[in-house]
Amino acid sequence: MGASLATRPVLLEVSDLALAFGGVTAFAEVGFQVREGEICALIGPNGAGKSSLLNVINGLYRPQRGSVRLAGSSRALRRPQAAAHAGVARTFQNLALFKGMSVLDNVLTGRGRHRRASWLEQALRLGRAPAEERAQRAVAERALDFLQLGAWRDTAVGSLPYGLQKRVELARALAAEPRLLLLDEPMAGMNAKEKRELSGYIQAINREHGVTVVLIEHDIQVVMQLADHVVVLDYGRLIADGAPAVVRRDPAVIAAYLGTPH
């Protein structure tokens, strides 16, 4: 982590977190911090508990023990709706797009927390609704332009190649104007060229929009080039937490990935 990042305030704080489903432990005793402006990569073998951890951070799962705080507040992350209103946006491992809707309309769904007009005003296009709709569309269009999706704005998402659909999902998250962006395997299923492109967009969102990013990624080369900070889980336990160059030399991390004895 660079010196400037190390002096920034902590945005996300995970403390002594534990989650189990029945008698099966997803993870236990997990704790780390993410500072404002970081790109933090959450890595580990399949089944390490990474996606479950993201689900706790944005309120989908309730842990049995521990706490998650956003800018010092734990209340903001108790439910997905509360997390969204606090500025947390999320993409999922499996695409969660409306396949029959256009690219623009999909991105507009990311503007939900910013709408103030009542459902009646929106349905009848009265009161605050018309001006609000213009403002929301302007933000969505900017997100499309930022991710170079303008050429497909009116295209049904389901007809697009997989790599573009992944980019649409990222545009929807960006349109929410998040403070914290959670990305669950955003590059899964992509070829090397698509990974490079999406990595560039994630870096641009982080640097130009000031968005803190926590992402799950299996491609270690991508992680080492993209992340400022790496957190490693193995069988539900945190085994490393630090700068990429330090983590990649950690014997426990090497053992987890290569299957060598600790």
Q: What is the pLDDT of residue 74?
A: 81
Q: What is the pLDDT of residue 48?
A: 81
Q: Tens place of pLDDT for every residue, the chain, 262 residues?
A: 555 777 899 999 999 999 999 888 999 999 999 999 999 999 988 888 899 999 999 999 999 999 999 998 887 788 888 888 899 999 988 777 889 999 999 999 887 665 555 555 665 565 565 667 778 888 999 999 999 999 999 999 999 999 899 999 999 999 999 999 999 999 988 888 999 999 999 999 999 999 999 999 988 889 999 999 999 999 889 999 999 999 988 998 888 776 655 4
* Domain 1-51+58-87+179-262 top-level CATH class: alpha beta
In the chain, CATH 3.40.50.300 sits at 1-51+58-87+179-262
pTM: 0.87
Q: What is the pLDDT of residue 10?
A: 95
* CA angle centred on 22, ends 21 and 23, rounded to 5°: 105
- Please state at what angle helix 129-146 crosses helix 192-209, rounded to 10 degrees: 130
DSSP class of residue 9 equals P
Beta-ladder partners of 27: 19
Q: Are 196 and 176 in contact (CB under 8 A)?
A: no
DSSP 3-state of 8 = coil
Instruction: Give how far Cα 69 sits from Cα of 41, 62, 157, 174, Å.
Output: 18, 13, 35, 22
| Burial class of 44 by CB neighbour count within 10 A (0 to 12, 13 to 18, 19+) | buried
